[in-house]
Amino acid sequence: MKILIAGVDGYLGWSLAQYLTARGHEVAGADIFFRRQWVEELNSWSAVPIAPIEERLQAFKEHFGTKLHFWQGDLRDYAFVEQILREFQPEAIVHLGECPSAPYSMIDVSHAVFVQTNNITTTFNLLFGIRDICPQTHLVKLGTMGEYGTPNTDIPEGFFEIEYNGRLDRFPFPRQAGSWYHWSKVHGSNNIMFACKIWNLRATDIMQGVVFGTRIDEMGDDQRLLTRLDFDQAFGTVINRFCCQAVIGHPLTVYGQGSQKRGFLTLKDSMHCLTLAVENPPDVGEYRVFNQFANVFSITELALKVQRIAQNLGWDVKVCHLENPRHELNEHYYNPTHQHLLDLGYCPTHDVEAEISIMLQDLWKYRDRIRANKEILIPEFRWNGTKKKVKFLD
Ligand code: USQ
């Protein structure tokens, strides 16, 4: 299958290009290297050193025996999107070309506007491009479990049936996002749903949980094939940050009481799920939603897991509670379903400890890179718009 990855240079995109190519797909990618720039803007860097794109493409060719078609440019530019779709004629597009950070979107007005316009415009351009150039193409769009928020009910996959005043209908499940970033994903979902309806497009909207992991098997031992792993307050996700903290003996930074719950999955599982979505397209005109995660944990549970595994490796790691810079519920009900991917053959990795252990050992090699920027581990971007390092609560 011919598959275009929008945002191929990022954490998921670079991994997915390898995962799909290893399974016989013809893969192309586009990127403008925004992720590299955002992390630099925050005076940080990836814990795992990443090669420039030229070296990545060379390594890709040597390792997989085939070229990764690559376009450098801005997906907000419709002419650029048109050019790629005309030249490559993809059967599926995996759209990872958005800004993925809640804290980054909360910094100030310019960051909020940037995240929303970037995320909404790129999706619009792909939708119009598909309509006009390749209307059979399946759009697989990365949304987020954070679109739903933490309602006091079960969370279905996108839609639910409701009876109101004696009449029954099927509605999109209410979205209660928790940051300007998460709202950008909600707006994208609405636009895709509408485009499928009026133009008969096909799309899968992936409500993904928090991803963690340093590698997938396809990367082998080639340093140039490794994907990035961020540990700053905006682009480092929670387990990845905890593991980076553990390898330098920094206290694990649990925000608030740590009772907030999220869905999590390994990088390998994320690749498997996205591939299942691509290889099993919906019907023409169908807009479907997949909830994509393996396990639900509270943040404290995760911190204790990382602490325990680090202790097994002989490292002394403390778990600390910090003022929560975010506005989010601490104690809440959380019971999302994820049946659609299971029906397609997804077997979630439940051995989170094994994955954390691999991560800790991988990251040990890069401890000097993390230690050199350890002040970045304490967050300062607050949901009320102020910028001040948070305090330790214990
Ligand atoms: N958290 C801590 N300590 C930290 C970092 C985070 O306690 O050092 C807590 C946060 O308060 C939050 C939870 O961990 O309650 C998750 O935070 P995160 O930064 O790992 O994830 P989040 O901001 O929700 O966003 C990430 C990705 C985003 C994706 C989302 C899936 O950056 O692209 O959409 O996970 S989900 O969380 O299900 O919405």
For residue 211, tell me if it sits in a domain. yes
At 186, the pLDDT band (50, 70, 90 cuts) reads very high
The dihedrals phi and psi of 138, each to the nearest 5 degrees, come to -90, 120
Mutation choice for ligand 1 from 210, 292, 321, CB with most ligand atoms inside 8 A: 210
pLDDT 10s digits, 276-309: 999 999 999 999 999 999 999 999 999 999 999 9
For residue 255, tell me if it sits in a domain. yes
- Using the mean position of ligand 1's atoms as its centre, give its distance from the Cα of residue 262 in Å: 8
Question: In this structure, which residue's CA is closest to atom 28 in ligand 1?
Answer: 100
**241 CA: nearest ligand 1 atom:** 8
Q: What single letter denotes the amino acid at residue 168?
A: L
- What mean pLDDT comes out for the span 199-204? 98
For ligand 1, is residue 296 a contact (CB within 6 Å)? no
Q: What ranges make up the beta strands (E) of 91-156? A: 92-95, 138-144
**36: which 2 tokens?**
């590299």
- What mean pLDDT comes out for the span 228-251? 98
29 and 70 Cβ atoms separated by less than 8 Å: yes
Whether the predicted pLDDT of 42 surpasses 90: yes
pLDDT 10s digits, 128-146: 999 999 999 999 999 999 9
For residue 384, tell me if it sits in a domain. no
Give Cβ neighbours of residue 125 (< 8 Å, ≥ 6 apart). Answer: 75, 76, 77, 78, 81
Q: What is the CATH number of the domain that holds 338?
A: 3.40.50.720
For residue 393, tell me if it sits in a domain. no
pLDDT at 350 (0 to 100)? 86
Domain count within the chain:
1
pLDDT 10s digits, 348-371: 998 999 999 999 999 999 999 999
pLDDT at 65 (0 to 100)? 98
- What mean pLDDT comes out for the span 168-184? 98
Mutation choice for ligand 1 from 176, 262, 378, CB with most ligand atoms inside 8 A: 262
Question: In this structure, which residue's CA is closest to atom 16 in ligand 1?
Answer: 238
For residue 14, tell me if it sits in a domain. yes
For ligand 1, is residue 209 a contact (CB within 6 Å)? yes
Indicate the burial class of 291 (C-beta count within 10 angstroms; 0-12, 13-18, 19 or more): buried
Closest CA to 64 of 177, 202, 222: 222
Whether the predicted pLDDT of 229 surpasses 90: yes
**147 CA: nearest ligand 1 atom:** 39
pTM equals 0.98
**142 CA: nearest ligand 1 atom:** 34
Distance CA(322)–CA(98), nearest Å, equals 29
Closest CA to 306 of 266, 359, 257: 359
Determine the length of the chain. Answer: 394
For residue 328, tell me if it sits in a domain. yes
pLDDT at 207 (0 to 100)? 98
pLDDT at 387 (0 to 100)? 97
Distance CA(241)–CA(321), nearest Å, equals 14
Mean predicted lDDT score pLDDT of the chain: 98
Domain span at residue 135 reads 2-377
> DSSP readout, 356-373?
HHHHHHHHHTTHHHHHTT
For residue 392, tell me if it sits in a domain. no
For residue 386, tell me if it sits in a domain. no
pLDDT at 394 (0 to 100)? 86
Q: Enumerate the active-site residues.
A: 144, 181, 185
pLDDT at 180 (0 to 100)? 98
